[in-house]
């Protein structure tokens, strides 16, 4: 039987695909390659399709029947409290967050209607890389943004330095992408069990790092200690977001094995 990874040619998805293949699973990848890259999953069957586009239902039905797909990992595609448990009422502040919440609703509804096994993972700030060729190539998150600016000879940017945090900058829970990929494997194994309780679980480290702490780690790793450019706050950025991961650990036994140092070092090596 086969596992389909939707968005499997992307940054996170490619790590999940590689770990699944390493433990002997049969894997197929579905990706529209809008941000993903086929070379990340070379040797793995790839179906190029926009899952929201015309003809996607027929294409996916044929693929799932032909490949005998038994499970799907869907990767295509923040509350204002410091420690985030699964019980915190979701209140998205932007369309991206809204789509994630709607995805949970749809998954839960499909599970009820068609007697599927469903688990949504809420993960936090993903960074680092397991292999240089799978590195995040889009400067959309803090670590790659800082490294990209330093590569261009520009100072890193800090959006707000007057928050009610120890050093005035935002605090986030940074999880290594390889730990996150391993969490997806643990989630698949969990779904094989008959006794399950939650259908939404957090994935993070449970430890926060401020923007200035990330910059200090980047400076230590790269030897480039360029003073940051402090800019006004961005709308919708809460002071601190750290995952409460006790439920996921209790359900699966998974724990993050890597910290901020490993995240920054792996990301920097991939750009060298």
CA 23, 186, 255, 92 dihedral sign is positive
Q: Rounded to an integer, what is the distance from CA 17 to the centroid of its chain? A: 14
Rounded CA gap, 5 and 7, in Å? 6
Reported in sequence order, the residue ranges of the chain that DSSP labels E, i.e. its strands, are 2-6, 26-31, 46-48, 69-74, 83-84, 120-123, 125-127, 157-159, 171-172, 174-176, 200-203, 209-210, 229-231, 240-243
CB 119 within 8 A of CB 189: no
Distances (CA, A) of 258 to 103, 155, 263: 28, 27, 7
**28 phi and psi, to 5 degrees?**
-125, 150
With tokens 């945090």, the residue in question is 165
96 in catalytic set: yes
Q: Which listed residue (11, 96, 123, 163) is catalytic?
A: 96
Which positions are annotated as active-site residues?
96
């Amino acid at each position: 039987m086969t596992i389909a990874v939707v968005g499997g040619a992307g940054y996170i998805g490619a790590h999940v695909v590689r770990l699944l293949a390493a433990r002997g699973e049969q894997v197929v990848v579905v990706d529209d390659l809008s941000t993903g890259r086929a070379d990340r999953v070379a040797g793995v069957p790839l179906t190029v399709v926009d899952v929201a586009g015309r003809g996607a239902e027929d294409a996916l039905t044929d693929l799932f029947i032909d490949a005998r797909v038994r499970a799907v990992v869907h990767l295509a595609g923040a509350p204002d409290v410091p420690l985030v448990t699964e019980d915190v009422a979701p209140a998205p502040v932007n369309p991206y967050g809204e789509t994630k919440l709607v995805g949970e609703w749809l998954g839960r509804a499909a599970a009820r209607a068609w007697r599927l096994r469903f688990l949504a993972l809420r993960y936090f700030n993903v960074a680092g890389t397991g292999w240089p060729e799978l590195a995040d190539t889009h400067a959309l998150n803090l670590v790659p943004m800082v490294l990209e600016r330093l590569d261009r000879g520009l100072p890193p940017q800090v959006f707000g330095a007057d928050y009610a945090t120890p050093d005035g900058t935002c605090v986030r829970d940074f999880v290594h992408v390889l730990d996150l990929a391993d969490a997806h494997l643990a989630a698949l194994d969990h779904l094989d069990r008959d006794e399950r309780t939650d259908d939404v679980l957090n994935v993070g480290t449970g430890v926060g790092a401020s923007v200035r702490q990330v910059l200090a780690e980047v400076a230590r790793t790269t030897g480039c200690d360029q003073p940051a450019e402090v800019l006004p706050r961005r709308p919708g950025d809460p002071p601190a977001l750290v995952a409460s991961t006790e439920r996921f650990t209790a359900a699966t036994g998974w724990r993050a094995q890597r910290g901020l140092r490993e995240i920054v070092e792996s990301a920097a090596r991939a750009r060298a």
